[in-house]
């Protein structure tokens, strides 16, 4: 039987850990766990900690680490920079699926055709944490604050840089035909796609134009398809 799996915000120092009130309540009141029972914790940085409950308090449950897993760095790094969506639930769906697939970085973009700029960061981060726990991963995807498109593409990135768009006038490579590196950044535009100027600016910053297939996809679908393809195609 799998042990219950929880996220802790801070780095682990020592063997004793006091869980926050939200996690304590879930452990003690929802799962009705008691002193001596075991659970798993992760801080989203590549390790899990098998723990035993030493004090089953609904507001400050305490546990003791009895086993630490081996640290493993993710071999493949995938960053999806994707336009914020007007429909919040669709962006939340993308976040959930991207984390389950194994995306290591997510950047909400504000493009010229982005319809909505308000972004509830704490709620979105909570969704990434929930998806990490659901999929039993030990690395929490790095969720950035929203950033304007032109500002973002000017930042340094050491890996392979791609931009998915639908402009047939510009040469596009089939993503499945590319030899991808271990670190990949993919740009996904808003509904209505990137503007011609944005695509040109990205290409001038050494982004490679790619196509995700013959059909036109919704933004959140394109993000998930890109993540899955990159995950399977990376060296």
Domain end point (choices 68, 86, 104):
68
143 and 168, same domain (yes or no): yes
Domain end point (choices 49, 68, 87):
68
Give the model confidence (pLDDT) of 197-224 as tens digits.
999 999 999 999 999 988 889 999 999 9
Closest CA to 12 of 66, 79, 58: 66
Q: What is the separation, in whole angstroms, between the first and last Cα of the chain?
A: 34
Name the domain count of the chain. 2
Give the model confidence (pLDDT) of 38-90 as tens digits.
999 999 999 999 999 999 999 999 999 999 988 877 778 999 999 999 999 99
Give the pTM.
Answer: 0.91
Take residue 21 and report the two structure tokens written for it.
């009130």
17 and 82, same domain (yes or no): no
63 and 138, same domain (yes or no): no
153: domain range? 77-233
Q: What is the CATH number of the domain that holds 58?
A: 2.40.240.20
41 and 92, same domain (yes or no): no
Q: Determine how β-strand 105-110 pairs with β-strand 142-143.
A: parallel
95 and 131, same domain (yes or no): yes
Take residue 55 and report the two structure tokens written for it.
């004090």
């Amino acid at each position: 039987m799998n042990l219950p799996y929880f996220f802790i915000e801070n780095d682990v120092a020592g063997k004793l850990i006091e869980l926050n009130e939200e996690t304590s309540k879930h452990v003690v009141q929802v799962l009705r766990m008691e002193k001596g029972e075991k659970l798993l914790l992760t801080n989203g940085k590549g390790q899990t900690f098998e723990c035993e409950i030493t004090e089953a308090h609904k507001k400050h449950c305490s546990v003791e680490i009895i086993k630490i897993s081996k640290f493993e760095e993710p071999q493949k790094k995938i960053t999806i920079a994707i336009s914020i969506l007007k429909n919040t639930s669709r962006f939340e769906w993308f976040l959930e699926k991207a984390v389950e697939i194994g995306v290591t970085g997510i950047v909400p973009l504000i493009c010229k055709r982005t319809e909505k700029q308000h972004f509830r960061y704490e709620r979105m981060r909570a969704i990434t944490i929930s998806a990490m726990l659901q999929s039993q991963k030990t690395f929490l995807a790095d969720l950035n604050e929203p950033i304007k498109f032109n500002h973002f593409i000017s930042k340094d990135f050491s890996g392979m840089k791609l931009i998915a768009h639908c402009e047939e006038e510009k040469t596009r490579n089939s993503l499945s035909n590319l030899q991808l590196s271990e670190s990949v950044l993919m740009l996904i535009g808003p509904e209505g796609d990137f503007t011609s100027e944005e695509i040109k600016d990205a290409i001038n910053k050494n982004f490679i134009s790619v196509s995700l297939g013959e059909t036109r996809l919704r933004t959140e679908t394109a993000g998930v398809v890109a993540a899955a393809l990159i995950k399977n195609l990376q060296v």
